[in-house]
Amino acid sequence: DTEVTQTPKHLVMGMTNKKSLKCEQHMGHRAMYWYKQKAKKPPELMFVYSYEKLSINESVPSRFSPECPNSSLLNLHLHALQPEDSALYLCASSQGGQGTYEQYFGPGTRLTVT
């Protein structure tokens, strides 16, 4: 089973709201990722968690706050977003570590900021 699940599928939020995106995998993977994808563009890496520790932050604004409660779950907390943050947010996971491991992606959350 190579499934990564994401909730919600769609989210509309105002600029003053606080919301969270959730991602879950049960493949025993130890690396998890958040990507942002704008229309007609490739995914852009935001954060990487490796063994539940934040290992990469691609200079993402602080209005995006990741959290990895355990090895199966990854959250992205959103606060005071801007309309330009509207995008498809993708979660991915891989076995992690130093190996040659592929990333498996979830279906994404379509976020609209009004």
Partner 1 sequence: AQSVTQPDIHITVSEGASLELRCNYSYGATPYLFWYVQSPGQGLQLLLKYFSGDTLVQGIKGFEAEFKRSQSSFNLRKPSVHWSDAAEYFCAVKGNFGNEKLTFGTGTRLTIIP
Write out the binding residues for partner 1, residues 1-60 only, by CB under 8 A.
2, 4, 6, 31, 33, 40-43, 45, 48, 50, 55-56
Element (H, E) at 112: strand 109-113
Burial of residue 107 (number of CB atoms within 10 Å: 0-12, 13-18, 19+): middle
User: 65 or 105: whose CB is closer to partner 1?
Assistant: 105
Q: State in angstroms the smallest separation of the CB of 105 from partner 1.
A: 4
Q: How far apart are CA 89 and CA 46, in angstroms?
A: 10
User: Three-state DSSP class for 85?
Assistant: helix
Interface residues toward partner 1, by CB under 8 A? 2, 4, 6, 31, 33, 40-43, 45, 48, 50, 55-56, 88, 90, 92, 94, 96-98, 100, 102-108, 110
